[in-house]
Amino acid sequence: MQKKTSFLNKLFKIAGDFITSKFFLRHIDGLKMYEDWAKKEAIPLEEFCNDNDPDIWKETLNFYNQFSNLGSERLRETGVKLGGCGGYPFLYFICRCKKPQTVIETGVAAGWSSAAILKALELNGTGKLYSTDLPYKKRPGAAEAIGILVEDKFRKNWYLDTKGDRQGLPKIVSMVQKIELFHFDSDKSYKGREYAFEVVKEKLADDSIIIFDDIQDNFHFKDLVMEYDYNYKVFEFERKFFGVIHP
């Protein structure tokens, strides 16, 4: 009887180790423990930005208050269902603070993040945005509506590739010298994130800023910051979390 118990214990231990192993967790999205980790790490966005640059944060809030209403109205008019938005107020804020020359983002959809970045670059008077997207196949009108929130006057500083990360990202990376800001908001699987990071990595520098949206989906962000011993912050925006790697 004793032998049987210890065999069962061993079996449970092996099963338990497997379930919590990195290999297993890389293939399962949306577990509660991912969100718990993000929640535990998150610091207040408003406080952080205001402490760092109160003037730019005030400007960001003005932009946010105007654009969130205008954008929602515009989307309602089109009637097309697109993905949710990234942490676009922070993207505006960080672009105004850091004045990057080269910004790369994955995942455009309606273009909340693209519009915020492009508006900030325009005000900076310098910088270019390179974006990838792969339109939702099953949503009618999604392909035509990509970047619909980006005003025509800002498009001169925008390069958009709609063939997806696998085709578009390596091409974009080959077009730039250095990536100062990278925003990931496309294929949210562990593998999708891992792939994109491998591609952009060669053009990142020590002072680059890297942002991953929806980090509550899996442990990719957590594993990445641990592996490279990166400085990072986690913020909550609209009940989801984004992670920022910074110098």
Binding positions for ligand SAM, rule: CB under 6 A:
83-86, 88, 106-113, 132-136, 164-165, 185-187, 192
Whichever of 102 and 113 has its CB closer to ligand SAM, that residue is 113
Whose Cβ is closer to ligand SAM: residue 17's or residue 198's? 198
- Of the pair 44, 84, the CB lying nearest ligand SAM is at 84
Distance CA 17, CA 28 (A): 15
Q: How far is the CB of 165 from ligand SAM (least distance, A)?
A: 4
To 5 degrees, how large is the angle CA 191–CA 233–CA 246? 80
Measured from the CB atom, the residue of 142 and 204 that comes closer to ligand SAM is: 142
Whole-angstrom distance, CA of residue 156 vs CA of residue 77: 25
* Spatial contact of 211 and 181, defined as CB atoms under 8 Å apart: yes
Q: Which is nearer to ligand SAM, 54 or 170 (CB)?
A: 170
Dihedral sign from CA coordinates of 181, 187, 188, 194:
negative
Residue nearest to ligand SAM (CB): 83
State the minimum distance, in angstroms, from the CB of residue 197 to ligand SAM.
14
Calpha distance 116→54 (Å, rounded): 18
HSE-up (13 A, CA, CB side) for residue 199: 24
Residue 86: CB minimum distance to ligand SAM, A = 4
For the chain, where are the alpha helices, taking DSSP H only? Answer: 2-19, 22-25, 32-41, 45-52, 54-78, 88-98, 112-124, 165-175, 190-200, 220-228
CB of 60 to ligand SAM, least distance (A): 15
Q: How far is the CB of 100 from ligand SAM (least distance, A)?
A: 17
